[in-house]
């Protein structure tokens, strides 16, 4: 498979799909080593002398910034490329852009792209010593987001097989949900549910190994972890959405609907949150919502992925 080298070690991180439990555990365990006892992310020199290209074809604050911080905490140089301002405007192809950055001796590419499969395409064409990290491609995958979610769940709630997990929202268009479902299946979560209106669920969602609910109140019963999705208003066709606050009334996580889940259910959200759209503002700020802890964990998880890929690349040469 494209993500692995001949020694069957992880070479690129393009999707959670196809990874084994040991791969995920290795990354989560490694991420833990980047925290000091007081919770601060430590500085290491693991990527000293390496250059990370941060290649964002879609705008992002949180993901781009945490990858940049993660790279700097590993002592890598970071080359930020905001592609809407670059020579792709001169008509250069994605492949040629990446090859030029390879020639600049960038070893690690963090790529976000609006097209599903873009990072797979790039990974097929790069030099053997280069690793690609998918930072979100179209509606396809966002593997580091799923990994930081798993890190956060494990940290706060422990073993996955004891946990019932619900993912709520626009599953159909969400690269986050797709990666979360793969990760939860691989880690053996007790039960995985997806909750959303029919228009926002894939047609054969059950084949992904999940139980489908169209009613939030039914779906939340007996759930230990609630993974909210961002309603990507800026990306959706409005026709898919019920009008005038109806989505919030039906699928919003509020103090009333939260009561149906298990006591102290953990609340996860990839951010940025839409207060009063998919989640009640006070719920987003409540102790069981670990949305900001996810951000912190994201730095450590991204450090883990980056350092692992560079190590594996070195071993395979």
Residues of this chain that bind a second copy (CB under 8 A)? 40-41, 43, 49, 51, 59-62, 65-66, 68-69, 72, 77, 79, 81-82, 85-93, 96-97, 99-105, 233-234, 271-275, 292-296, 299
Q: What is the rounded distance in angstroms from the CA atom of residue 112 to the CA atom of residue 127?
A: 19
Q: What is the rounded distance in angstroms from the CA atom of residue 301 to the CA atom of residue 47?
A: 15
130, 104 in Cβ contact below 8 A?
no
Please say which residue, 189 or 313, places its beta carbon nearer to a second copy: 313
Q: 20: which 2 tokens? A: 């084994």
- Taking the complex as a whole, the smallest distance from the CB of residue 287 to a second copy amounts, in Å, to 15
Q: What is the rounded distance in angstroms from the CA atom of residue 51 to the CA atom of residue 108?
A: 7
Sign of the dihedral defined by the CA atoms of residues 28, 29, 30, 32, in that order? positive
Q: What is the rounded distance in angstroms from the CA atom of residue 294 to the CA atom of residue 278?
A: 18
Q: What is the rounded distance in angstroms from the CA atom of residue 199 to the CA atom of residue 22?
A: 35
Q: 182: which 2 tokens? A: 């793969």
- Taking the complex as a whole, the smallest distance from the CB of residue 182 to a second copy amounts, in Å, to 25
Please say which residue, 81 or 111, places its beta carbon nearer to a second copy: 81
Please say which residue, 89 or 207, places its beta carbon nearer to a second copy: 89
- Taking the complex as a whole, the smallest distance from the CB of residue 195 to a second copy amounts, in Å, to 23
Strands of the chain (E only): list them: 51-56, 77-82, 108-113, 131-137, 164-168, 191-195, 211-213, 225-228, 266-268
Burial class of residue 1 in the structure, from the number of CB atoms within 10 Å of its CB (0-12 exposed, 13-18 middle, 19+ buried): exposed
- Taking the complex as a whole, the smallest distance from the CB of residue 130 to a second copy amounts, in Å, to 13
- Taking the complex as a whole, the smallest distance from the CB of residue 40 to a second copy amounts, in Å, to 6
Length of the chain: 317
- Taking the complex as a whole, the smallest distance from the CB of residue 307 to a second copy amounts, in Å, to 18
Please say which residue, 221 or 296, places its beta carbon nearer to a second copy: 296
Sign of the dihedral defined by the CA atoms of residues 96, 102, 104, 109, in that order? positive
Please say which residue, 46 or 79, places its beta carbon nearer to a second copy: 79
């Amino acid at each position: 498979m494209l993500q692995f080298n001949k020694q069957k070690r992880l070479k690129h991180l393009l999707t959670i799909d196809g990874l084994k439990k040991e791969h995920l555990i290795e990354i989560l365990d490694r991420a833990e080593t980047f925290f000091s006892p007081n919770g601060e992310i430590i500085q290491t020199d693991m990527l000293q002398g390496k250059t990370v290209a941060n290649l964002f074809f879609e705008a992002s604050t949180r993901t781009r910034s945490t990858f940049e911080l993660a790279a700097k905490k590993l002592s890598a140089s970071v080359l930020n490329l905001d592609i809407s301002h670059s020579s792709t405007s001169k008509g250069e192809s994605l492949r040629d852009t990446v090859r030029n950055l390879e020639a600049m001796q960038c070893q690690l590419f963090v790529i976000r792209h609006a097209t599903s499969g873009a990072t797979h395409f790039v990974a097929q064409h790069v030099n053997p010593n280069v690793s690609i990290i998918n930072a979100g491609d179209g509606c396809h995958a966002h593997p580091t987001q799923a990994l930081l979610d798993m890190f956060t769940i494990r940290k706060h709630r422990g073993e996955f097989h004891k946990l019932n997990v619900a993912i709520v929202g626009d599953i159909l268009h969400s690269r986050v949900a797709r990666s979360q479902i793969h990760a939860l299946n691989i880690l053996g979560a007790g039960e995985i549910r997806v909750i959303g209106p029919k228009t926002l669920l894939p047609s054969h969602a059950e084949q992904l190994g999940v139980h489908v609910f169209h009613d939030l109140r039914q779906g939340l019963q007996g759930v230990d972890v609630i993974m909210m999705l961002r309603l990507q208003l800026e990306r959706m066709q409005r026709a898919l959405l019920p009008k005038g606050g109806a989505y919030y009334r039906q699928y919003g996580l509020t103090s009333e609907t939260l009561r149906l889940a298990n006591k102290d259910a953990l609340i996860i959200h990839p951010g940025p949150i839409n207060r009063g759209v998919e989640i009640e503002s006070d719920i987003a700020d409540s102790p069981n919502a670990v949305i900001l802890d996810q951000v912190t964990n994201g730095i450590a998880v991204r450090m883990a992925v980056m350092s692992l890929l560079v190590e594996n690349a070195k071993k395979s040469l």
